Structures are given as structure tokens and as C-alpha cells.
Amino acid sequence: MLKLFSIILFIFISYLPNNYQVLHPVHISVTNIEYNKNTKKFAVSIKLFTDDFERALSKNTGKATKVTDNDIITGKNINHYINRRLIIRFANKIQKLKFVRKTVKDNNTTWLYYEFVPTNISGKILITNKLMFNLYSDQKNLLIYSYLNIEEAYKFDENNYKFEISF
């Protein structure tokens, strides 16, 4: 029930007018990981508050970073940050997330899209999500995971940033 409430709250806050989101009181991200059996790839979408994400990138690089910049350096910084803080392991092997695209909506939310072809799907998946934990102690990261007939939801926080799915 708490997971559902957190997702609804995040969606509600995402649609508030710009002036309400300047100092939003909630520090949250949502990550969807979904398997496409036709392409045999996993699609990963990550939704973040743009201002929080820019702070995280700036702190990580030591330079002011705007996610709306479409230059190569910004793209590399984003991918480096995501691949170091969102780690997906199948059979203890780290999956390399391949960048697909980025969308910034109303300068409030940033959607990042990745994909990967799993190297080995067997028995256990370990997901580590430390997105923006270096900024906020109250940061929460929600996960929705879907693989064939398995669907799981999980809430990561500073003390619980790993989630294992066995099948």
C-alpha cells in the first residue's frame, strides 16, 4: 500500500505547476525495468526531478550541469552517473545500460531511457539503486520490474538500496 501511495504521490507532484515544484518537499525517482520478449531486451526508463538530477550531476562532476544541454560531455556525464548508481546484475554479471534517449518535460522532470540485452537470465537478479542518495538523506527510489509473468515493486532508500528477485 505504501508503494502504491508513493507512486501516486510522485505522479501528482510531477503534474503540479512549475512554481509549486521549485522547492518540492519530496525527493523521489521512479525506475521501470521491463522485458520485451520480442526484442529479447530490457527497457529501462528513469524519471527524476530535473533540478535534483542536475544537482547530483554537478556534485558528481564538480561543474554546473544542465540536463537540457545536448552536448557529448553532458551525455557522457549522465551515462556515467546512471551506470555507476543503477546497477543490474544477472547471475552476478553487471549489465551495461545502453542509452536510448532523454526527454525533459517543462524543465521539471527528466526521463532517461536505456536498454540492455541480458547476458544470462538465470535464477536471480540483483538491482542496486543509489540514484541521488549522495544529495538527500530522505531520497526514495521506486522500482517497477516486469519480466514475463513476474512483476515486482520495491522502494529503495539510503539504507536499503539493493533488491533481489529470484525466479
Condensed to tens digits (0 to 9), the pLDDT of residues 26-67 reads 899 999 999 999 999 999 999 999 999 999 999 989 988 888
Dist CA 96 CA 89 (whole Å): 9
pLDDT at 20: 44
pLDDT at 74: 86
- At 61-95, the pLDDT tens digits run 998 888 887 778 888 999 999 999 999 998 889 99
Dist CA 59 CA 63 (whole Å): 7
pLDDT at 33: 96
Q: What are the C-alpha distances in Å from 101 to residues 14, 44, 93, 156, 159?
A: 20, 11, 24, 24, 30
Closest C-alpha to 56, from 46, 43, 71, 66:
66
**CA angle at 10 for the pair 163 and 83, rounded to the nearest 5°:** 45
